[in-house]
Amino acid sequence: MIASLMMYARPELAPAHNRFWANIHASLADHGVAAPLHLSQNAGEWEVWESPALVFSQTCGMPYRTRLHTSVQLAGTPDYKLEDCPAGHYRSAIVVREVDPRSSLSEFAQAKLAYNMAHSQSGFAAIYTHTRPLNFWFAQRIASGGHLSSARMVATGHADVAAIDAQTWRLIQRYEDFAKDLRVLEYTAPSPALPYITGAHQNADTIFEAVLEAMNALSGEDARILDLHGLIRIPKAQYMAVSNPPRSASG
């Protein structure tokens, strides 16, 4: 059995994530669902998502629609109450250096984009779609390995622009000193947020109910720290309807 909540993992959130998992574990047990006692927070994402022993995790919309949708089930989407987003949705903050004089994205056509991973909805697909009406794509691109690294690369001048998951951007502003060196140039359109998933062998409705119970049992402080405001059912079709960049975009 394996479970993970790695998508928004930070040292500052670890105690609250562990308490959330303890609630989920207890609620799953009440529903007759076996689950690991501890989260596998340091396991590789694909190792978790594609494990035949998957009980619970959170993934990104692009990996779900391009690779996982036939092997896992949606188990609800957390609502982070992000500004100008419907419940259970998120968007990307397109960040640049505070001192950069350019005021529109079109002025960054020759700039260097830092992106976390080519299979990321918020870090790659969202900004690719966002640039389509502007008729350009960044010729200079560098993979950073994570949103935090992308943002830091822009702040330190190793890149010029990055698209950061709005919830991650919220956490960067909360916990990282270098956030003051960045500003949001604009935001991408909202799309369904990072869904919770479970294995094909599980009862997804049972998992949803257990997670909702666990979320409602969180202390006010833990719910605030994790920015959890509810659990939303978003149909598979809505995730699948989001467009994917062509393979050539990451080449």
Average pLDDT of every residue of the chain = 97
Residue 111: predicted pLDDT: 97
Residue 22: predicted pLDDT: 98
Using CA atoms, how far apart are residues 7 and 45, in angstroms rounded to an integer? 9
Residue 126: predicted pLDDT: 98
Whether the predicted pLDDT of 153 surpasses 80: yes
Residue 231: predicted pLDDT: 98
Residue 143: predicted pLDDT: 97
Question: Are 175 and 227 in contact, with CB atoms under 8 Å apart?
Answer: no
Residue 158, φ and ψ in degrees, nearest 5 = -80, -10
What predicted TM-score, i.e. pTM, was given to this entire model? 0.95
E strand spans, 134-235: 140-143, 161-165, 182-187, 191-192, 196-199, 231-232
- Give SS3 for 195: coil
* pLDDT tens digit sequence for 99-145: 999 999 999 999 999 999 999 999 999 999 999 999 999 999 999 99
Whether the predicted pLDDT of 251 surpasses 90: no
Q: How confident is the model at residue 248 (pLDDT cuts 50, 70, 90)?
A: confident
Residue 25: predicted pLDDT: 98
Whether the predicted pLDDT of 166 surpasses 90: yes
Residue 28: predicted pLDDT: 98
Residue 60: predicted pLDDT: 97
Residue 250: predicted pLDDT: 81
Domains contained in the chain, CATH given? 2-80+193-240 (3.40.190.10), 92-189 (3.40.190.10)
* pLDDT tens digit sequence for 38-76: 999 999 999 999 999 999 999 999 999 999 999 999 999
